[in-house]
Structure 1
Amino acid sequence: MECRLKLDELAGERIPLYGQVAVYHPGYNCVLFLFPAYDPAPIPPLSTVHEPSAVPDSSAAPESAVAHEECTVLSEITGDPSVTGTGGVNHRLVLDACRVITNNNDGYLTTDIDGAERVLATTITLPCGIYFLHLENLSTRACYKIVANFAAWEFPESLPDHWERPLSGPERLQLRQTFGRVSPTEMSDVVKGADTKCVVSGFRLSLQTAHILPKEEHVWFNSQKMVRYCYNMSAGINDTANGVTLRSDIHLCLNRHSCVFYPCEPDDYVLYIIQWGEEDYAQLLHRRRVTMPKRVSDKFLYARFAYATFHLLSCPEYWQDLASPVPQSTVEVKAQERTGSVTRAVGLADIPEEEPPAGDTARATGDDIEMKDNTGKSPIQDGGPRTPAALHHSPQHPDTSTSIESLPELLQETEEDKKFDESWHKVFPGYPDVEDPPDTSDIQIWTYPDNPRIERLTKAYRASHPQIAMSSAGLPLHDTSPAFHFDD
């Protein structure tokens, strides 16, 4: 039997890793992003490389680009095969990532920390090198805060022009008629049925439904009112506008935040590798055209790009005290979900997870994001350490589960308590009231009738934490009644 070549020997054209594009914050001279550079850049003629510049011009090409190109051309002249071309990262994609972490502020890149050597806006591929992000706003050009956590990012009122996906009125009507009644539990099957194959690879087997915006981010989804971009508002984050069909390994790659869907033309997308350590998938997928269904909302695609951007941020713990804070309500809901003190909204926890096909032994954990409270001081500013206790106490959101003593009026015995106690012991005579029963090997029964007081505390807690009685779409749950009454 004649053997075929190994899969890794079949690839005709290997995509080189040219190096990296580093983006710095000029106010702190600290790295924001390190992009792996897989995009080729054209080599300029030799005459343009050595042409001197008599007067410094802020609109000239970056010095790092010229230096890189000069090195490349000289290597070809000398016959050194170690350098065969120049490369970099898509300039517009880098600016989009910078726009996200500055909370939707426009900026530009320079090759010097003072902002004089500005990169031309017409530059398509940003050559490998070091760049500094400056904002267009003169007052905060180099001294600006960033957003270091997706939960603190605000979805913009309008998308950048190149992210807008135009749909005609009849197209929108047809999509709403087709997908407007799909329930959360039907979402996965409907998405795979509509797509029929992986939108990236074209495979028809080993398929999974991927959430564009991860369903674990339902708190952010609700706070930003993203339901307005759904076809079925009651489905919330599990709407078909937020789902796409991917081959299982590509789904894992997406969940590792290694790639993003990025617009390349009006109504077209490519898969773009943005993380280090994904050389194999860069060979297979980088800048591959994606057959993105019209059903998928451009708003969710942009939100997913932002979500991946925050996982690309270098040393996020460094920026915590220098960044915009996460909303207090988000911190509390996330903490309650971790401890199990609050039930997740209906339509989220009840959606079954898709199991990977046989052979996929690793599951991505990128979607399982938890809010972590920073407990250290900033390396630059001397602010007091932020502890979890400090984050969970605020006048707007009292923590009645841990600060019952702060609500003495709810603890005092009332006439209702006395009547309930009397009626209890009429039905169950002979059982003593014991608040803290002792450890004993004897078989004994104690009672502690405390229903009215618990009901008062429950009402107070629900009043200060309304999110525990809301669905993923921000609507009241069907079961908002208090605990049962013995009289019932």
Structure 2
Amino acid sequence: MALPLPALTGRDGTTRQIPILAPVEDSTHSSMTHNVILFLHPGYSPPLNVLFSLPCADRVSESGVYGVHHRTALTACQIIANNAFTGFLAVDAKGESRIDETIGPDEILTGREYFFVVEGDVRYPVVPSFRDWEFPHHRVPDFWPHIPPAESLYNDVCLVTKFPWAVTKSHIVPSIEKDWFNTNCMWRYSNSIVPDIDDVKNILLLKMDLHFCFDRFMFTFVPKPRASGTSSHKEATEEALSYTLHVLAGDQALFASLHHDIQLPHLRSVAAEYLFARFALAIFIGIKPFVNAGYKRRIARFMVVKDSGGPEMVVEDIDGQVLQSRYDGGKGRSASPSKRKRADEDTMEQQEDGETAVDEIDEPALQEKDTNDAWYADVLDCEQVRGRPTKRQRALYQVDDYFDSRSIW
């Protein structure tokens, strides 16, 4: 049964349909993201070798079979493995059956699981969180397209829908990640006289509902071939690729059927490097179960070492309980810094006539430098065009909603 288009009735009695994306059949979107593909680390025994999973949202031509875009999955694995851009996917742990020998980078993975292999390093280190990740300056893959300057025609409309109303400004690299932004010198990709994380090259215009979903990591943007429904064993050139909306919410089939693979040929003015960082941020959210499993892991962290004069990459084996205390909040401690501050909320609400900002409430806890990512849902969703959000708004965006995204639909 097709979903009906909504309509508006005017004062003169005439009815107009609202121009939205074409409706989809229930049978289509109900199976679109039913399954996930697991990506495994060859250096650990099952079942503790699952790095993360991606939903099967990419359709294999007209076959009705769904999987995951090969290049998107591979890039995600490479980022998590400390920017191991020479690594590859394989059917077996030894890497003898390489996937890139049988399908092209823009074809679809349809197996249940794949190993990510780094030759010569079976126990390659894994970066545990976005804040521990070093941005790969001068090493961003060549297929990540350059983005041309802005065109005035599309300056004030939603990037995805082209709608001109209810449009909000959304940070690509979230403003809460200013420390990471500065440590990695990400300001080099901005155009401002005084470059910072609020630069226009780090801002997307999205409708409020899509902004909400974007801040919940329900989707990201990745390069895919411009010509839909085609695939090739050959490397696609930058000119043949377009940034495309890629859905990451595996339990949101209707959302995926409406928005997955929408291409953005009019994307302008933002920095490709910021989109690459945002893709990494969304992927790192999915690695939390691997990091917090309670077992020793080989970990890579880009961090400031005492007396070193600056950040450097540190690789070490870290005990599972230590990882849990750092990245899962530990016993008796909420994974969300804002939740640990709720006892003080009643007092703080009296300040500024109830207009206390979220970032003011969370700032002391964030300075603890715990690298847990779960707090994102408390703050990222609240970015608004008119300025900093109030504490009242935070009640709409709870951490638990991210881990069970069905609650927002």
TM-score of the alignment, normalized to the shorter chain, above 0.5: yes
CA radius of gyration, larger in: 1
1:48-63 matches, cutoff 5 A? none
Contact residue 147 and residue 272 of structure 2 kept, 8 A = no
**Aligned twin of 1:126:** 109
1:76-95 matches, cutoff 5 A? 85-95=64-74
SS at match of 1:246: strand
Contact residue 154 and residue 266 of structure 2 kept, 8 A = no
- Confirm whether residue 165 of structure 1 aligns to residue 199 of structure 2: no
Shift of residue 90 of structure 1?
0.1
Match for residue 146 of structure 1 among 114, 126, 131:
126
Contact residue 227 and residue 233 of structure 1 kept, 8 A = no
Q: Residue 271 of structure 2 aligns to which amino acid in structure 1?
A: S
Query: Structure 1 unaligned runs (5+)?
Result: 44-83, 179-190, 343-347, 369-488
1:61-460 matches, cutoff 5 A? 85-105=64-84, 106-121=86-101, 122-123=103-104, 124-135=107-118, 137-138=119-120, 140=121, 142-158=122-138, 159-165=140-146, 167=148, 195-265=155-225, 266=238, 268-315=242-289, 316-318=291-293, 321-325=297-301, 327-328=303-304, 337-339=363-365, 352-353=387-388, 362-363=396-397
2-structure distance, mates of 1:337, 1:306: 24
Query: Structure 2 unaligned runs (5+)?
Result: 7-20, 226-237, 306-310, 312-325, 327-335, 338-361, 369-382, 403-409
SS at match of 2:115: strand
Shift of residue 354 of structure 1?
5.9
Compare 23-32 and 105-114 and name the one that shifted more.
Answer: 105-114
Q: Residue 95 of structure 2 aligns to which amino acid in structure 1?
A: G
Shift of residue 118 of structure 1?
1.6
Q: Assess, with a 3 A threshold, how the Cα gap between structure 1 residues 166 and 293 changes in structure 2: closer, same or farther.
A: closer
**Structure 1 vs Structure 2 CA RMSD:** 3.8
Write out per-residue CA displacement over residues 149-197 of structure 1, whole angstroms, 9 at most, x where no aligned residue. 1111111122101103165xxx5xxx7xx9xxxxxxxxxxxx9x96211
Contact residue 147 and residue 271 of structure 2 kept, 8 A = no
2-structure distance, mates of 1:365, 1:132: 30
2-structure distance, mates of 1:298, 1:340: 28
SS at match of 2:72: helix
Shift of residue 205 of structure 1?
1.5
Q: Assess, with a 3 A threshold, how the Cα gap between structure 1 residues 5 and 85 changes in structure 2: closer, same or farther.
A: closer
Q: Residue 41 of structure 1 aligns to which amino acid in structure 2?
A: V
Q: Assess, with a 3 A threshold, how the Cα gap between structure 1 residues 250 and 88 changes in structure 2: closer, same or farther.
A: same
Q: Assess, with a 3 A threshold, how the Cα gap between structure 1 residues 224 and 10 changes in structure 2: closer, same or farther.
A: closer
**Aligned twin of 2:42:** 26
SS at match of 2:210: helix
Aligned residues: 290
2-structure distance, mates of 1:320, 1:229: 37
Shift of residue 311 of structure 1?
0.8
Q: Assess, with a 3 A threshold, how the Cα gap between structure 1 residues 254 and 340 changes in structure 2: closer, same or farther.
A: closer
Q: TM-score, normalised by structure 1?
A: 0.53
1-structure distance, mates of 2:249, 2:200: 27
- Larger relative helix fraction: 1
- Confirm whether residue 11 of structure 1 aligns to residue 24 of structure 2: yes
Contact residue 188 and residue 195 of structure 2 kept, 8 A = no
Q: TM-score, normalised by structure 2?
A: 0.62
SS at match of 1:218: helix
SS at match of 1:95: helix
Write out per-residue CA displacement over residues 315-367 of structure 1, whole angstroms, 9 at most, x where no aligned residue. 03237853223525899xx999424889xxxxx9xx82368xx9x9833769x
- Larger relative strand fraction: 2
- Confirm whether residue 36 of structure 1 aligns to residue 55 of structure 2: yes
